[in-house]
Amino acid sequence: MNLPRYALPLFLLPATNVLADTFERDQALKLPDVVISANRQVEARNDSSAANTVFTRDDIDRLQPRSVTDLLQRVPGVQVAQAGGRGSLPGIYIRGTQSAQSLVLVDGQRIGNATSGDSNLQHLNIEQIERVEVLRGSRSVIYGSDAIGGVIQIFTRRGSEQGLQPRMHIGFGSNETWERSLGLSGGDEKTRFNLGASLDETAGIDRSHQSYPSDSDHDAYRNRSVSLSLSHALSDDIEIGANLLDNHGKSEFDSPFGPSQQQPYSDFDVSSLSSYVDARVNETWKTRLEFGHSENREKTLDKLSDERSVFNTYRDSVTWQNDLTLDARNSLILGGDWYEDRVNSSTAFDEDSRWNRAAFIQHRYQADSFSTELGLRHDDNQQFGSQNTWSGTFTLPLNPDNDVLLSYSEGFRAPTFNNLYYPLFSNPNLKPETSKSYELQWRSQLSDSSRLEASLYRTDLQDAIIFGSDSRPQNVASARINGFEAALKQELFDWQSNLGVAIIDPRDRDSGHTLTRRARRTVSWDLDRQFDRLGLGASWQAVSGSYDDLDNTRRLGGYALFGLRGSWALSREIKLDLKVDNVLDKNYSRALYSHDGSQYGYREEGRAFMFGVTWTPEI
């Protein structure tokens, strides 16, 4: 569903009949022209101060990605560096910042690993996802720690219509890959639900080139996933609900720098549970109370030995947000956050838990010829004490089709448990990393069928954490990242084109070297058209070279990938999908490893196909 720009404010007004308050957020999750993550409330994408990209379920079905990371590679300013094939740990770099400097949420809950800082996005099954929103640039005023580079939020699947809607999908492809999923959604005027389950399996590829004989096997991957969403309207003004996403399975990997006889694998579990109460107190005041629990568990074992290690982290959270419409020009967001992290590990940590509590406030003023947004947040953390951040945005509409935004934002990241307490390789005196970001955005509706969004930005990082010669982390580094990104969406002769371009200059300010695994230039282009029942599409991605080390001595070559996809609706109930990735069978690597004093690149999949059948019977 596409809403014209002039209709969006009507959709968002609480008093209109365009959409009742009941299930407002669930219905908004289906729309491409709104965003929820920027301020934890439904708002038009063009009204948000954050540079953002949105993928709806319709986009996911059209693009046929195999994972969340496949989607993220289409976002301008976002780079993904995986260490070899499906299920491998990805580095996610938003505007040149590292993985731990960006926040990942599932239905509003943090899912990052409190020991390593990784979010394990590679394990989130794409069949259980309704929507993905990506915010580029710091949102620390709203979310606190980790949101320096940006925010990625995943929403689990939702029911959309009354009655029952079953669905089934089965697919097979290269490297003995199988995908199976079942789902059922439904509801009435008061209650909605969605229940889904998936099983993905692949024999995988041999992720490393030169390695030990024990590492020459293919690295298999298995992922079992369950999701549940449930919402119920107690009245016209009060809604309660809960969301669950659980992904668990097994991932094999290579360890070319370890003992010569190893076949390691990990048993993983990434899960998130959230519940909420959403209420409209009166015409000017809406309040939302959220409770959450997330787990990130990993047990690493070896087929050839009895070695094992366990790293489990748990997080409980509470968020209370109040949205106040003071008058026609002034609105206010204020609330509080609390969360606690706990660690249960086979490695003994000096500290295995810590809490964080925060209060935040943000004011928005809408004049006839401009608008402003000003926010302030105070965090109090058990380990690093108090931290204040603030942000401000000035928006100038040049005319009805062109807006210019000037923003300043601060951010910070609390050190992880590994940074602070890992035996022999930690530093309990670390300070949080901090950032200051400046951004100029231009948003233009070039025509009825063309839209351009461009950003010019600079991010300064202070007290960045790096590992010194004694292998202990230190607050010694500073970095600056200059960048430009643009997204052009255009429809021409019924072809839908989405082009994303990014140019960055990410440098260590002390050495002048380029930050590791950050390509200076990236381009992504998707082209699609629907011919009645037949859908055709193509993707092209180009990534320039980068460096795999701080000294810029180990170079990663650039690469370009081309993919094709198609779909055929045999009937209203049955649809066929076919996708071929890396059509030209490009040999490329996104990360390096050392073996016997030499450097080698981790393998990525060559040409690979995936064929699927989706059945949505009518009841």
Q: Got the DSSP string for 132-168? A: EEEEES--HHHH-TT-SSEEEEEEE----SSEEEEEE
Percent of the chain with pLDDT over 70: 94
* End-to-end Cα, the chain, rounded Å: 23
Domain count, the chain: 1
CA–CA gap between residue 228 and residue 280 (Å, rounded): 25
Sign for the pseudo-dihedral over CA of 114, 115, 120, 121: positive
Q: Which of 45-49, 80-84, 402-406, 537-541 has the lowest mean pLDDT?
A: 80-84
Residue ranges making up the domain that contains 549: 5-615
Q: Tell me, what's the pLDDT at 7?
A: 41
Cα–chain-centroid distance for residue 571? 34
Sign for the pseudo-dihedral over CA of 302, 306, 307, 309: positive
CA–CA gap between residue 430 and residue 492 (Å, rounded): 54
How confident is the model over 590-600, as pLDDT tens digits? Answer: 888 777 777 78
Mean pLDDT of 331-357: 94
- What DSSP line would sit under 536-604, residue for residue? EEEEEEEE--EESSTTS-SEEPPEEEEEEEEEEESSSSEEEEEEEESTT-----S-EEEETTEEEEPP-
CATH at residue 215: 2.40.170.20
Q: Tell me, what's the pLDDT at 15?
A: 35
pLDDT band at 359; cut points 50, 70, 90: very high
pLDDT band at 214; cut points 50, 70, 90: low
CA–CA gap between residue 425 and residue 422 (Å, rounded): 6
Q: With beta carbons less than 8 A apart as the criterion, state whether 113 and 311 touch.
A: yes
| Confidence check: pLDDT of 19 > 70 | no
Q: Tell me, what's the pLDDT at 139?
A: 94
Q: Which of 18-22, 79-83, 243-247 has the lowest mean pLDDT?
A: 18-22
CA–CA gap between residue 183 and residue 166 (Å, rounded): 6
Q: Tell me, what's the pLDDT at 453?
A: 97
CA–CA gap between residue 33 and residue 56 (Å, rounded): 10
| Confidence check: pLDDT of 182 > 90 | yes
How confident is the model over 433-473, as pLDDT tens digits? Answer: 999 999 999 999 999 999 999 999 999 999 988 876 667 88
CA–CA gap between residue 33 and residue 53 (Å, rounded): 10
CA–CA gap between residue 474 and residue 437 (Å, rounded): 23
| Confidence check: pLDDT of 243 > 80 | yes
Q: With beta carbons less than 8 A apart as the criterion, state whether 347 and 311 touch.
A: yes
Percent of the chain with pLDDT over 90: 72
Q: Tell me, what's the pLDDT at 83?
A: 82
pLDDT band at 17; cut points 50, 70, 90: very low
How confident is the model over 244-274, as pLDDT tens digits? Answer: 999 999 998 877 666 666 788 899 999 999 9
Mean pLDDT of 129-133: 97
| Confidence check: pLDDT of 373 > 60 | yes
Mean pLDDT of 55-62: 96
Q: Tell me, what's the pLDDT at 3?
A: 42
3-class DSSP assignment, residue 176: coil
CA–CA gap between residue 333 and residue 325 (Å, rounded): 9
